[in-house]
Structure 1
Amino acid sequence: MTTRTNEFNQPIGEEVPQWQAREKPQRIVLTGQYCQLVPVSHDQHLDDLYEAYTSAPDGRDWTYLFQAPPSDKTTFSQYLKNVETSQDPLAYTVIDLASQKAVGTLSLMRIDPTHGVIEVGGVTFSPKLKQTPLSTEAQFLLMQYAFDHLGYRRYEWKCDSLNAPSRKAALRLGFQFEGIFRQAIVYKGRSRDTAWFSIIDSEWPTVKAALAAWLAHANFDENGQQKQRLEAIRQSIASHT
C-alpha cells in the first residue's frame, strides 16, 4: 500500500470519505440462537443474577473486576440499580433462551461516537454462562450491533494484563493484541497494567463469518461438543479471502 502524503510531503493516514459521527448504542434487545441480550433491569433480573453469581464456589471470577463479588442480596441490589441507570457503561443482561434465566451481564462502554470507537467491558459471567455457546454468542451479538447496525470502526477489549483467561478469550474471539499500558489503573488497592485488544471494521467480515460458523448447530455434536475450534474456522476463512 502506498503511503499518502500531504502538500508538505508528510505521510498521512488513509482518507475516510464522508465520515459522520455514529449513533450511541441504545437499550435494545438482541436475540441469537442460544441467548438474548436485554437491557439490565433490577426488578426483572435481580433474583436470577444473584442466584447465578452466588452459585460459584468462590469469588475468583471477580478478582479482575472493579466490583467485589456479591456478599448479600441487599448490597447486590444496590449495585444492580447503579448498573441499570448507567449510560456509559451501557449494560445488557444475558438471558439463556433455554431456561429463560438471566445468567450474566456485559456492557458497551467508553462510547465514542465521534470517532466510531467502542469497548466491550464489565463482562460478568456466572458459572452458568462461562465456556458455553451462550457466552460466545453474547459477545457476537454485541459486536454485530456495534459494527453492522451502528457502523463503528473500532471495537476494543481491555483487561488486567495478569488476567490470562480474559486475554485468551479476546484472542479466541478474533481480537488483535495491541500492547500493554503500564500502571494504567489503580483498583482494589493495587496497580494494573492494562492489556489492549481490538477488532477494526476491515477485520470484522472474517471475524463475523467465523463466529457465525462456529455458533451454527451443525458445529456441535449430540453431546454439545464443538466439532471445530473457532480459531481454526477463522484461520480457514482468512486463508480463502
Structure 2
Amino acid sequence: MVITIDQNLRLELTAEKHAEGLFQALNSSRQQLSEFLPWVPNMQSVQDFIAYIKNCELFYQQRMEVSFVVIFNEQAVGRIGLHYLNFFNENAAIGYWLTESAQGNGIMIRSCKALINYGFKELGLHRIEIKAATLNLKSQAIPKKLGFQVEGVLRQAEKVNGKFLDLVLYSMIDGEWESGTRD
C-alpha cells in the first residue's frame, strides 16, 4: 500500500525492502533520535531493522498497527504509523520520527494529515492520539499545528536512556477533524 501525498512525498507500507534505507536514515540522525526514542540503541544493523520490520508486518496482518516508511525525494527519511489499533473502541495512536536533515520541510505535518485521513476515513477510527515527551518541543509542534487537543501529561510514562520521561497526551476525534479545514 502506498499513500501518495505529492510528487516528492509518499508513505509506503513498511516492508523488508526498506531495511537498508531505514538503517541509513537512523544512522544519519542517531544522536538526535536517541534522545526521545527508546528503541534507537537496539538498531545497530540492517539485520536489526529486518527483524523489526518482520514484527511490523506481523502486527499489520493481525490488524494491530499499520506503519509506513516516509519517502521524500526517493529517500527513506523516517517512519509513521497508527499503533495500538483498537477496532472495538475505534482508536489508535500515531508514532513518528524523521531524520534531522529532512526536518523543516513540512514532511511530518503532511504525512500526519494523510495518515489521520486514512485512519478516520478508511479504517473508521473515532479517536487518534499522539504522545510526545514534554521536552520534545519539535514533536509537540505536530499535534498542535494539526489542532489536536491536549488532554494532560502522563507522568514518567516512557523510559529512555535509563530515565523516565513525562509525555504530553494529545487527541483528535473524527468529528473534530472533519469539521476542520483539512485536506
User: Is TM (by shorter chain) over 0.5?
Assistant: yes
> TM-score, normalized by length of structure 1?
0.65
Paired residues, what number? 178
Q: CA RMSD in A?
A: 2.2
Name 2:105's counterpart in structure 1. Answer: 132
2:75 counterpart of 1:101: yes
Name 2:39's counterpart in structure 1. Answer: 67
Identify unmatched segments of 5+ residues in structure 1.
1-27, 213-241
1:206, distance to aligned residue in structure 2 (A): 4.3
1:49, distance to aligned residue in structure 2 (A): 1.9
> TM-score, normalized by length of structure 2?
0.83
Is the 8 Å Cα contact of residues 18 and 76 (structure 2) preserved in structure 1?
A: yes
| 1-structure distance, mates of 2:26, 2:159 | 25
Please, which of 3, 7, 11 is the counterpart of residue 37 of structure 1? Answer: 11
The structure richer in helix per residue is 2
Identical residues among aligned pairs (%)? 27
| 2-structure distance, mates of 1:36, 1:192 | 31
| 1-structure distance, mates of 2:110, 2:153 | 27
Please, which of 54, 61, 67 is the counterpart of residue 91 of structure 1? Answer: 67
Is the 8 Å Cα contact of residues 157 and 167 (structure 2) preserved in structure 1?
A: yes
Name 2:152's counterpart in structure 1. Answer: 179
Q: Which has the larger radius of gyration?
A: 1
The structure richer in strand per residue is 2
* RCO comparison, higher one (Cα < 8 Å, 6+): 2
- 1:159-217, CA deviations, whole angstroms, 9 ceiling, x for partnerless residues? 2223222122221122111101223344442223221101112210244x24x3xxxxx
- 1:76-95, CA deviations, whole angstroms, 9 ceiling, x for partnerless residues? 44334433433334321112
Please, which of 117, 120, 125 is the counterpart of residue 94 of structure 2? Answer: 120
| 2-structure distance, mates of 1:130, 1:180 | 25
| 2-structure distance, mates of 1:128, 1:188 | 23
